[in-house]
Structure 1
Amino acid sequence: MYKYKLPVLEKVGFGAGDMAVNVVISSMMLIITFFYTDIFGIKPEDLALLFIVFRLIDAVTDPLMGMITDKFTSRWGRYRQYMLFLAVPFGLSVYLAFSTPDGDYNTKLVYAYATYILVTVMFTAVTIPYISLISVLTDDPKERLSANGYRLFFAKIAAFLVTIIVPQLSAQWGADNIQLGYQYSMGLMGLMGTLLFLFCFATTKERIEHVVDKKPFVEQVKILMRNDQWFILCMVCVVGTVGYVIRGSVAVYYAKYYLGGDEAMISAFLATGVVAAILAMVASTWITKKYCKIKLFRYTQVAVLVISAALYLFVGRDDIALAFVLYFLVSFVVDLHAPVFWSAIAEAVDYGAYKTGNRVSGLAFGGISFSQKFGMGIAGAIVGWLLTYFDYVPNQEQSEFALTGIALMLTVIPGLFHFLMGVLMFKYKVTDKYYHSMTATNILEVEENLSTVKSEKHITNYAS
């Protein structure tokens, strides 16, 4: 039924692309909030406003980039060329975003806005083509799921490197100037991202050419809004990203202030979550061979709230070992859904084409990217507001009220968002069984149409 199997090297190359993407995502989810408050020197309330403002920019750039990928192709295909030409600007933007200029508070705030604009625009310009790439590599949903397993495995490797290398190298390279340490260490991450995108470009191949409707933007939006399953995934993406980013952003505060850790403990705590996520990628790929991937998605996210509540209720400030164990467990269960989600997007786009008779892929993938970044922005703002509410003061011993807030932001608060994420997935219906049935119907309709055309041609020739 399906034509294209992917060689291992291509799956590795595809995964390298997400490793590059996650140089930014991991830094945004795990360290940028801490960097801005404790290293760069931005007030939490100003940080909240920064994250909200830039989601307004994403509301324009994400659908615009999606439409650009729909309209233009090159000799390399529809998506791969962006990884070739934008690799270097992408890496440079990461370096600049983690550089701290000399100057007063307002000067630094303007610089933070300018470099955050640059890194988010570059992120959009290369990520939307990348997440769209899986739809043209293969038509086999199992191969897509497998490729996404590779992709998310390498993504977590990037997160592992960011959480381990950046704090340690920043402390070593910035012994007398921690700001310079972060600039150099994240510059190294930016260089790695550039090389990985070039490797992804070199090792992947676009095999499928979908017919994209050349309709006006407003009409494409109307068509996309009829794709109820895509819309569910967008809501799931927003809600899940909010929970994920709140937990990831606060983990460094939790390790430093709640558990009283130094740089080594901070790195170890963050790495614990990343290792759990890497193992979850492997486990998810194995589990979904025998168990419905959508059920796995639903029930794991509901379970996250239970584990998160246990982490809050049973871990005191001296229970370091238990904190590590439960943080590992919650991080493992959270990420069991990840390969399922990213393979489901391409299938939801196919569902939309099946339901409406029109394929709107660029805008659909752009919408998912915007949903993810919108969730990141909302989460960043929530973290900023909550840090302000709980009277957090950077680089000082925290009050009991602040410590309670930090503990809640690592556990129960994100757990509630993941619970809602799981509940939303009970409305998602494109299971493997449904998708196979849908594609079989499409193939049958194509064959019937071809048969009808041949019959009409035969009758015409006979009459002649």
Structure 2
Amino acid sequence: MEKGKFQTSRFERLSYGGFFLGQNIIYVIPFQFLAYFYLEYVGLKLEDVTFMLLIAKVWDAVNDPIMGAIVDKCNFKKGKYLPWLKVVTYLLPLSLVLMFINPDTSYTIKLFYAYATYILFDMIYTISDSPLFSLSTVMSSLPYERDILMSYGRFAAAVAAILSAVFMSIKEKADWTLTVVIYYFVAFLFMFPLQFKAKERVEYSRNKDITFREIFKYLFKNKYLLIYYLGYMAIGSTNSLQIMAAIFANSNLGSDTMVTVIMGVSILPIIIIAPFLPKLINKFGKKKITVFCSVATIIMCVIQYAAGYDNLIVFLILSAIRVVFMQTPLMLYGMFTADCIEYGAYINGERTEGIAFSLQTFITKLSAAVCQTLCLALLSVFGYAEQAATQSAKSLHGIWIILSLMPIAGYAIMIIIMGIYKLDEKKVEEMLEHNKRRDGNV
């Protein structure tokens, strides 16, 4: 089938992107604002928040491969992936609201409540991630269409970031919990249609008796999947913008509502670029795009740090340019995973989408935990004071260093990783055709 033809309907693709949008709204709100909520509103100590986020995220990340293996093992009458997504459509938005409640009680109980609700949220999110990405591989057998579906997802992530940019402005007119409830309804409405519109139309030859041990063995034989996610781990662990935006706006710019402007201006270019990703991939390939954007990110980090933030207009323009290069490689990660799944099926003879996409989720969460921990630990080093009216000059400069220069290390590592990663679009198509012939699915 030639490129431009589809096995899925337009509404089916839109519902897939819509679920991504709702899921990403639910992900980005705590990722950007939860640490700030705990520090400045609940009144938890910096060291307690740092330790809690690290422990909870590491524990949650460890669950992801286990969940992926369970997904690979389970086959329901109504589908392999959709039944999981039907459940989380209702539970995931609710778990978001529970996190942003500040109980009027003792410090110890507040800390315990934060642990319990955060871990609950992350475990429910784990159930949603691997099945959602894996669903694209059974909605269509066409590599080009899968890239389209993934680009819908990454476009949705960019839209979610835009929607989150007005969070603080809404919070000024409502309290924290009410603001999160508003986002709860928006996320739920976008997630709801997928369970009725998506179809698992592609059937693969699968070994129903595959053991958990074999599933994990196949994972570690997929060298390109492991190589790629070393690079993704590096950039995810140093991508400090979303974590630091609220703190930077409040401390360095003097108003936490400025985060709306920062995130809006920074993410808007991604909305423009995301729809063109499939065509850019078709022309240049994912690997070349990743290398180019990583080099450009390093250059823009240095330029932005040198320019400073005294001139707000210059700061916002440079932020918008820098974010385009920073976010583009992150928008491609699901497509890289889909390619590596074909490679894994090619060398192993078994399709293990669940464990592959769960590694993606595992690295995403683990890198987020590392990034949050690094940011908060560096804030402590630079003398950041919780709930202080003003910060010291050392602290303000430290916040700026974390925001502007920290990503350089991660993108430098990704450039090295891309030198080792050898899969390209042509090789993946050849592997896909080989897998189809072997399984009798031509």
TM tier relative to shorter chain: over 0.9
TM-superposed CA distance for 1:74, in Å, is 2.6
How far does the alpha carbon of each residue in 1:281-305 deviate from its partner, in whole angstroms, 9 at most, with x for none?
A: 1343342232222100122012211
Say whether 1:414 aligns with 2:403: no
Which amino acid is the alignment partner of residue 100 of structure 1? N
Q: Is the 8 A contact 2:339 2:428 kept in 1?
A: yes
Pairs within 5 Å for 1:134-213: 134-164=136-166, 166-173=167-174, 181-213=175-207
Unaligned runs of 5+ in 2: none
| Partner Cα distance (1:390, 1:147) in 2 | 43
Say whether 1:242 aligns with 2:237: yes
Which amino acid is the alignment partner of residue 340 of structure 2? A
The equivalent position to 1:340 in structure 2, one of 322, 332, 340, is: 332
How far does the alpha carbon of each residue in 1:371-394 deviate from its partner, in whole angstroms, 9 at most, with x for none?
A: 110111111111111111111113
| Partner Cα distance (1:110, 1:23) in 2 | 25
Aligned position for 2:44: 42
Aligned position for 1:294: 287
SS, match of residue 193 in structure 2: helix
- Tell me: CA distance 1:211–1:58, structure 2 relative to 1, closer, same or farther (3 Å): farther
| Partner Cα distance (1:285, 1:443) in 2 | 23
Report which stretch shifted further, 214-223 or 402-411: 214-223
TM-superposed CA distance for 1:67, in Å, is 2.1
| Partner Cα distance (2:421, 2:172) in 1 | 46
Aligned position for 2:423: 430
How far does the alpha carbon of each residue in 1:161-183 deviate from its partner, in whole angstroms, 9 at most, with x for none?
A: 1221x21221101xxxxxxx111
SS, match of residue 391 in structure 1: coil
Which amino acid is the alignment partner of residue 170 of structure 2? L
Aligned position for 2:226: 231
Aligned position for 1:106: 108
Q: TM-score, normalised by structure 1?
A: 0.89
SS, match of residue 192 in structure 2: helix
- Tell me: CA distance 1:69–1:277, structure 2 relative to 1, closer, same or farther (3 Å): same
SS, match of residue 393 in structure 1: coil
Q: Is the 8 A contact 2:247 2:256 kept in 1?
A: no
Q: Is the 8 A contact 2:60 2:119 kept in 1?
A: no
TM-superposed CA distance for 1:256, in Å, is 2.3
Say whether 1:273 aligns with 2:266: yes
| Partner Cα distance (1:420, 1:60) in 2 | 23
Aligned position for 2:10: 8
- Tell me: CA distance 1:381–1:84, structure 2 relative to 1, closer, same or farther (3 Å): same
The equivalent position to 2:367 in structure 1, one of 348, 362, 375, is: 375
Q: Is the 8 A contact 1:141 1:343 kept in 2?
A: no
Unaligned runs of 5+ in 1: 174-180, 451-464
How far does the alpha carbon of each residue in 1:393-414 deviate from its partner, in whole angstroms, 9 at most, with x for none?
A: 1342111111111111111112
- Tell me: CA distance 1:252–1:437, structure 2 relative to 1, closer, same or farther (3 Å): same
TM-superposed CA distance for 1:4, in Å, is 5.3
The equivalent position to 2:98 in structure 1, one of 92, 96, 99, is: 96
The equivalent position to 2:303 in structure 1, one of 310, 313, 332, is: 310
SS, match of residue 289 in structure 1: helix
| Partner Cα distance (2:375, 2:234) in 1 | 15
- Tell me: CA distance 1:45–1:190, structure 2 relative to 1, closer, same or farther (3 Å): same
Q: Is the 8 A contact 1:230 1:348 kept in 2?
A: yes
Report which stretch shifted further, 112-121 or 140-149: 140-149
| Partner Cα distance (2:126, 2:435) in 1 | 33
How many corresponding residue pairs?
438
The equivalent position to 1:402 in structure 2, one of 385, 395, 400, is: 395
TM-superposed CA distance for 1:242, in Å, is 1.4
The equivalent position to 1:218 in structure 2, one of 205, 213, 222, is: 213
Aligned position for 1:461: none
Which amino acid is the alignment partner of residue 155 of structure 1? A
Q: TM-score, normalised by structure 2?
A: 0.93
Say whether 1:359 aligns with 2:351: yes
Which amino acid is the alignment partner of residue 228 of structure 1? K
Report which stretch shifted further, 8-17 or 25-34: 25-34
TM-superposed CA distance for 1:320, in Å, is 0.7
| Partner Cα distance (1:16, 1:432) in 2 | 27
The equivalent position to 2:342 in structure 1, one of 345, 350, 368, is: 350
Aligned position for 1:453: none
Which amino acid is the alignment partner of residue 219 of structure 1? E
How far does the alpha carbon of each residue in 1:217-276 deviate from its partner, in whole angstroms, 9 at most, with x for none?
A: 2232122111101102321332222122x221112222222233451x221112122212
| Partner Cα distance (2:378, 2:274) in 1 | 31
TM-superposed CA distance for 1:20, in Å, is 1.6
Displaced runs of 4 or more, over 3 A: 1-4, 211-214, 440-447
| Partner Cα distance (1:363, 1:287) in 2 | 28
Q: Is the 8 A contact 1:30 1:163 kept in 2?
A: no
Look at both structures and tell me which one has the larger radius of gyration over its CA atoms. 1
Which amino acid is the alignment partner of residue 321 of structure 2? L
Q: Is the 8 A contact 1:280 1:335 kept in 2?
A: no
- Tell me: CA distance 1:142–1:111, structure 2 relative to 1, closer, same or farther (3 Å): same
| Partner Cα distance (1:41, 1:232) in 2 | 41
| Partner Cα distance (2:7, 2:184) in 1 | 32
SS, match of residue 296 in structure 1: helix
| Partner Cα distance (1:384, 1:68) in 2 | 34
Say whether 1:386 aligns with 2:374: no
TM-superposed CA distance for 1:32, in Å, is 1.7
| Partner Cα distance (1:284, 1:120) in 2 | 29
Q: Is the 8 A contact 2:297 2:322 kept in 1?
A: yes
Percent identical: 25
| Partner Cα distance (1:361, 1:46) in 2 | 37
Q: Is the 8 A contact 2:44 2:111 kept in 1?
A: yes
- Tell me: CA distance 1:446–1:149, structure 2 relative to 1, closer, same or farther (3 Å): closer
| Partner Cα distance (1:211, 1:46) in 2 | 49
TM-superposed CA distance for 1:443, in Å, is 4.7
